[in-house]
Structure 1
Amino acid sequence: MHIFISNSSGVPIYEQIVNQIKNHIISGGLSEGEALPSMRLLAKELRISVITTKRAYEELENEGFIVSLVGKGSFVASKNMDFIREENLRRMEEHLQNAVDLSKASQLGLESLIDLIKILYNGE
C-alpha cells in the first residue's frame, strides 16, 4: 500500500491518508482482514506525527472501513457492499457537481453535457 502526502494540496494530512486508504479498500487493493501498518510505522514512513495517523485510523474506523484490535493492530473491515455503494455514489455526485458547474460556466447546455457523459460512459 502506497500513500503519498502532499504538503501543498490544502487537504489536511490525516484526510489525505483517510481518502487514500478508502480508495485502496474500495478498489480491492486492500482485502478484507488485511492488516494495515501500525500507526507508528505509518507515521515513520510518511515522516509525520503519530497523532496524525491515529486521527486517520480513528476516522476510518468510525466510517466502518477498518477495525482496530487492542494489541493486535488495525485491519480492513468486512466489506459492507451497501456502504461502499453509498460512498461511491457520494464521490460520483461530487465529481458530477464539478462537471455541472464547469458546464454552466462554459455555457454548455444540459443536452450537450448529457451527450458528453454518454460518450464517456460508452467509451467512444
Structure 2
Amino acid sequence: MTFDHSNKYLKQNLIFGLLQIGIGIVALLADSINAFFQYGWLMIGIFTLYRNYRERVKPYLILKNNLLSVQKIFGYRKINLSEFSDVEKTKNSLVLFSGEKKRRIGTWPTNKKESESLYAEIDKILTRNKKKE
C-alpha cells in the first residue's frame, strides 16, 4: 500500500523552489557582492525543485507486510513494525511505541484521508502481531 504527497504540499514546494531560483537570478543580475547570495539561492532552488520532482514521482510512504518505508532526502528509511507494540495518532504524525523506544512518522505531507487509512493499517498490523505473541 502506498501513500502519496498531497497536491497542496507539492504546489507549495514548487512555488517555494521557483521563488528561490528567482531570488538567485535577481542577485546575479544585480551583481551582488556576496557569492553565497548569488549562487547559494540558485543551488537551494535547484535542489528544492529536484526534491519536488522526486516527491511527485515516488510515494511518501510504502507499507508492505511488516515494513514501513518513509521517504527521506536520499532514499527511504525502513521501519520494521514488528519491533513496536502500539501506535498513537496525533495531529500531524503517528507515534509508534515499543517499551523504551518511540518513533514519530510525520503524516502532514499526505492527505487527511490517507493519514487515517495509514493509522488503521498500522493498527491492524500491530494487533495481529500482538495476537501472534
TM-score (norm 1): 0.27
Bigger radius of gyration: 2
The structure where strand makes up a greater share of residues is 2
